[in-house]
A = this chain, B = another copy of it.
Amino acid sequence: MPGPDIAAQLDAAERLCTKNGTQLTTLRRVVLDLVLRSTAPLTAYQLLDQLKSTRKSAVPPTIYRALDFLIENHLVHRIERLNAFIPCDADHEHADAQFLICHQCGTVTELEDHGVSDALAAAAAARGFTPSRAMVELDGLCATCAPPDTAPPPAHR
């Protein structure tokens, strides 16, 4: 399952950038496309290798600049633990996200859990700390990879 229509996601990204007054250039669009097509997180150099096949001039700054742009525009997330990148899942207006990293199958799930973000906001506020960006990443085993009786799948919903 190649996921929900990459072309549509690219078009949505285009609209978002227009709205933000930024440009989703061809280069950036190609990089976003590569990120969207992958099931697993990709590193900058994996992306670079792929990019090189269509754009011979590509070098590390090429990909890092494109990724910086995509991250600023909330189209891509950087997973610090992996030094790797995944598409942003969501239509959401980006409060905060949390990531569940399965070290068995390598997939990363994006959450936007208000219980977590509220707890973080409260913990920060209690210390007079003004957060500007949160990084929340859990290593572990996803529902599919975990031994069944260790972690029963979530109640059906």
Contact = CB atoms under 8 A, between A and B. Distances in A.
Categorize the interface residue count of chain A. Answer: 35 or more
A61 interface: no
A138 B134 contact: yes
B132 A140 contact: yes
Interface string A11-28: 000000000000000000
Copies in the complex: 2
A138 B120 contact: yes
A129 B118 contact: no
A141 interface: yes
Nearest to A137: B135
Interface of A: 80-81, 98, 100, 102-103, 109, 111, 113, 115-116, 118-120, 122-143, 146, 150-154
